[in-house]
Amino acid sequence: MLRKGLQHLQHALLLVHLQQHPSLHMLWPRLSDLKIHTGDIIWGISSPSYGKKFPVFNPATEEKICEVEEGDKEDIDKAVKAARQAFQIGSPWRTMNASERGRLIYKLADLIERDRLLLATMESINGGKLFSNSYTLDLGGCVATLRYCAGGLTRYMAAQYPLVNGNFFGYTRHEPIGVCGQIIPWNFPLFMFIWKIGPALCCGNTVVVKPAEQTPLTALHVASLIQEAGFPPGVVNIVPGYGPTAGAAISSHMDIDKVAFTGSTEVGKMIKEAAGKSNLKRVTLELGGKSPFIVFADSDLDSAVEVAHQALFYHQGQCCIAASRLFVEESIYDEFVRRSVERAKKYVLGNPLTPGVSQGPQIDKKQYEKILDLIESGKKEGAKLECGGGPWGNKGFFIQPTVFSNVTDEMRIAKEEIFGPVQQIMKFKSLDDVIKRANNTHYGLAAGIFTKDIDKAITVSSALQAGTVWVNCYSVVSPQCPFGGFKMSGNGRELGEYGLQEYTEVKMVTMKISQKNS
């Protein structure tokens, strides 16, 4: 089903942007005629869910954008059936040359780049993300990821030839797993959608995707681009819906061969349990984090303050890798806090489509209230509130940029994933002390280190229990680099060749021959 659901917001949200960004005039005619895809995409066609719908909101204004068809277990069953048929031996998808698969993925990247302005605008309206970040980082990352997957396809999928003892000849095949269920988060709805489908399609799988109920719109638009690119029907199926219904149906489905999920640790545990109780489907999980960021006294202080700030406040703190435990060496602690507060106070809050705005809203009321509750816990437990600490404005889910000092390890704000614009700065005295404290968490997704001492950098990066460690930088993610967590931050990897491995089965084929010669 197609609806014109953005027109009531366009003039209010885009006119100011058009005045200061002339290139967006090219987008205006397309937005004026924009049709939002609001139904399941199964067999490559829109498939209504028997009249059930759910609302999609703009978190900056709290206004309803449109209603989207709500998929449930029956819709997931239909999508899995379509994906399974597309994966059958002899199907157009299974018989397609790897180079042709790569061409389709390249074509999809080109179409996303063509619609980049439109998609970035939809991300901002639906998800509260700053337009500049959506356009530059998210959409740029989507295109780069698809092109990496298309380019590395033939190299990774090539057969290998181990030497088998005796008169035998052997080779290994990297074969697609089959039907992959993919559950997408709301904080990076399009970026994570591409992170999931890119490697899966590269390796020849078919997919059933459930976008987050808060942010389904860009995934549904890209579904139309997948059709335009020429992918066979049933290869990509998209079912919007809620976690307890559509998401649970994916996790427990007996005919889904793998599930990939990005989201909370709590839900990740439920998915893994459901996978084990059903058909032991393979599972990759990218879950929560409470990432340490360690600043030593020998650091370039200006750079460390800015990188630590961006590492926490980017996208209103709604990042799984957010550097939400900031450890600063004792001798520079007070100055670091002063500069961090000064930096946070420069933020301009407002509609993410408005030029000059540097912080948008939280995604919804539930997250908004959770963050405010954790801020109150910090005040009550004795942390010093340096700035912020409350809501902002009279409309939308905005929270002031908040900085706490004198934070101790046992406080809730130092232990729980806040997922909001709340920076907590802690003091440390020694290298051994900070390593122990940094690792004292159930999470292990990412970590940051700032120092000019290469020995410290190597020692600490080796000791930290995290899937990614950044030294004198943060949030540097590339399609060719694996990404994933230790401990309760998940298992498996996304991106790079390690990420491709998650979407293949390795088969060893051994043949008897009459005589083997060197």
Please give the positions annotated as active site: 286
Which candidate, 455, 468, 495, places its Cα nearest to that of 149? Answer: 495
Q: How far is CA 115 from the centre of its chain?
A: 20
Which candidate, 14, 118, 125, 3, places its Cα nearest to that of 61? Answer: 125
Q: Residues with Cβ < 8 Å from 316, sequence gap 6 or more?
A: 128, 359, 360, 361, 362, 399, 420, 421
Q: Residues with Cβ < 8 Å from 467, sequence gap 6 or more?
A: 444, 445, 446, 482, 483, 484, 485, 486, 489, 493
76-90 burial: b if 16+ Cβ within 10 Å, else e:
bebbbbbbbebbeee
**Cα 120 from Cα 489, distance rounded (Å):** 28
Q: Which two tokens stand for residue 369?
A: 């209230």
Strand partners, 391: 399
Strand partners, 67: 55
Tokens 């905005």 label which residue? 398
Other Cβ atoms within 10 Å of 175 Cβ, number: 14
